[in-house]
Amino acid sequence: MQSDYIIVLTTVGSKELAETLAKNVIARRLAACVQIQQTESFYAWMDKIEHSNEYLLVIKTKTVLFEDLSRFILQKHDYQIPEIIQIPIVKGSESYLEWIKATTK
């Protein structure tokens, strides 16, 4: 069973890009809410272990908007391989899920 609502995660390297993505995603009604958290990432890249300070965007939206949201993130992102991960919202408060539905396309 597919969930109607999802959380999409992406990380960026600057606060400015994080805020720009968040504002534009909301303005285009691709999401109802975007939270930005400063985070520290360790990852394998080009046969080395890397370490970066990043900004994690936690994006709440509808499943049907994932492809449009993903394309938008890819157009604006500055990473060679950006993280774009979809997590289904299996359960949530009815009023919150209705708000997501009402504030997105």
How confident is the model over 39-81, as pLDDT tens digits?
999 999 999 999 999 999 999 999 999 999 999 999 999 999 9
Residue extents of the structural domains in the chain: 7-103
pLDDT at 13 exceeding the cut of 80: yes
Interval 18-44 mean pLDDT = 98
Residue percentage of the chain with pLDDT more than 90: 98
Phi/psi for 33 (5° steps) reads -155, 140
pLDDT at 12 exceeding the cut of 70: yes
Degrees to nearest 5, angle at CA 4 with 17 and 8: 20
How far apart are the C-alpha atoms of 20 and 91, rounded to whole Å?
29
**Average of per-residue pLDDT values in the chain:** 97
How far apart, in Å, are the Cα atoms of 79 and each of 2, 64, 83?
29, 25, 9
Q: Are 84 and 67 in contact (CB under 8 A)?
A: no
How far apart are the C-alpha atoms of 92 and 17, rounded to whole Å?
29
Compute CA 52 distance to the chain's CA centroid, rounded to the nearest angstrom. 18
* Choices 3.10.450.50, 3.30.70.120, 3.30.365.10, 3.40.250.10: CATH for 7-103: 3.30.70.120
